Structures are given as C-alpha cells and as structure tokens.
C-alpha cells in the first residue's frame, strides 16, 4: 500500500510533523484495515529519506510493524534540511534556513531532539535494514552508520557503491535480493 502522508500528494493538511503525528496516522490506517479484515501482520514499511525516518519512528510505536527497510534515513533533521537546501535551494541564504529550523520545535510543540531519528532509536531501539549510498551528500553514509549503531542487534546495513541520495532507492539489482531476504526473515521484530 502506498500512502500520501500529511502535506504530501492528495493527503489533507499543509503541515508535516516529521513523524510525530504521521506515525499515529499510519497506525490508524492499520486499525482501519484490521476492522475490514484486511490486515495480516507483521506489517513491513519501506521508506526513503523522510519516509525512512518515519518508518523507523513508526516501528518504535506500533508492535504490528515487524520489518522496516530504511533507505537513507536522516539522523539529525536540521542537518538533513541544510544539506537538501544546499543541493536544491543553493541561493536561499543559510541564515533563513537556520532561523526556520530554530523555530520548528516551538511551532510543532516538541523538543528539538525529538525531531531527530537518533533520539528515537536511542530511546527505543528496533531492528531494521539500513541502506545508504556512498555518494549521498544529503544523508552521508556516516550518518546512517550512526543509526545502525543505535538499532537492535540483528539489524543490517547495505552500502551501495556510487549511489546518491536520489539514486539509491532505484538500485534495484543491488537492493532487491537483500531487501526480500530481510522482509522474509521471521526471527526479528518479535514475529
């Protein structure tokens, strides 16, 4: 199932909450599917970048999520935003970006650390398959390794040579076998 998150695609809402509310939205989706007898746990979530960070956060809060494939998840939200802006909005002054990032926790009503995936995994480590590309300058491989270090034993890390942030999810020939193996493993995640 593909989901339009808050503030994306055809979904309602103009604000994204970096997983703070979206993980509850996804759990409500599972509740609805369960009521219609359309849910067969364990659920697997595959996400890239923001979607990967959200999938990890969701796994920490919903026991029905038994498998996560996190492709280039951000570690510290502010670093990822600065890196993305550098790549896609290079003319936007850094002072504006940093000022907005400084205000974001107050706007969302959370501590700034609660927006970071490292904080989430440090509090509630979960097993996951992490994927990074050697040429990713938005979420460098060293960042993904930090998340991998916070995850539960049995987690796996795949480093795709030559892949950038934008191309790593499309490296099907390299990713398909380990992702399928991860999704078909039953000893992790309590399933």
pLDDT at 72 over 50: yes
pLDDT given for residue 13 in this prediction: 76
Average of per-residue pLDDT across 69-92: 90
pLDDT given for residue 69 in this prediction: 98
Angle at 136 between CA 80 and CA 84, to 5 degrees: 30
* Helix orientation angle between 94-108 and 77-88, rounded to the nearest 10 degrees: 140
Return the H-helix or E-strand segment holding 46. Answer: strand 43-48
| Model confidence pLDDT, tens digit, residues 102-155 | 999 999 999 999 999 999 999 999 999 999 999 999 999 999 999 999 999 999
Domain ranges of the chain: 41-183
DSSP assignment, residue 31?
Answer: H
For the chain, give the percent of residues with pLDDT over 90. Answer: 74
Contact between residue 146 and residue 118 where contact means Cβ atoms under 8 Å apart: yes
pTM: 0.91
pLDDT given for residue 175 in this prediction: 97
pLDDT at 83 over 50: yes
Query: Cβ atoms within 10 A of the Cβ of 124, count?
Result: 14
Q: Which of 36-45, 97-106, 166-175, 181-190 is least confident?
A: 181-190
pLDDT given for residue 188 in this prediction: 45
| Model confidence pLDDT, tens digit, residues 20-61 | 889 999 999 999 999 999 998 889 999 999 999 999 999 999
* Closest C-alpha to 2, from 40, 51, 37, 35: 51
Residue 132 φ then ψ, to 5°: -140, 155
Which three-class secondary structure state does DSSP give residue 131? strand
Note the CATH number of domain 41-183: 3.40.50.1820
Contact between residue 73 and residue 144 where contact means Cβ atoms under 8 Å apart: yes
- C-alpha 124/C-alpha 54 separation (Å) is 14
């Amino acid at each position: 199932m593909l989901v339009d998150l808050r503030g994306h695609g055809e979904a309602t809402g103009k604000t994204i909450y970096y997983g703070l509310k979206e993980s509850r939205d996804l759990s409500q989706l599972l509740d609805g599917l369960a009521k219609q007898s359309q849910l067969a746990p364990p659920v697997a979530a595959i996400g890239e970048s923001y979607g990967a960070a959200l999938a990890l956060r969701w796994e920490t809060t919903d026991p029905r999520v038994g498998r996560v494939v996190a492709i280039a998840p951000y570690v510290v939200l502010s670093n990822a935003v600065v890196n993305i802006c550098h790549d896609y909005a290079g003319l936007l002054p850094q002072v504006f970006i940093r000022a907005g990032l400084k205000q974001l926790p107050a706007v969302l009503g959370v501590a700034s650390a609660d927006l970071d995936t490292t904080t989430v995994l440090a509090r509630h480590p979960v097993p996951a398959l992490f994927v990074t590309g050697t040429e990713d300058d938005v979420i460098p491989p060293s960042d993904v390794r930090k998340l991998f270090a916070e995850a539960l034993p049995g987690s796996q890390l795949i480093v795709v040579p030559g892949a950038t942030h934008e191309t790593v999810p499309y490296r099907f020939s390299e990713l398909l076998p380990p992702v399928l193996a991860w999704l078909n493993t039953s000893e992790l995640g309590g399933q």
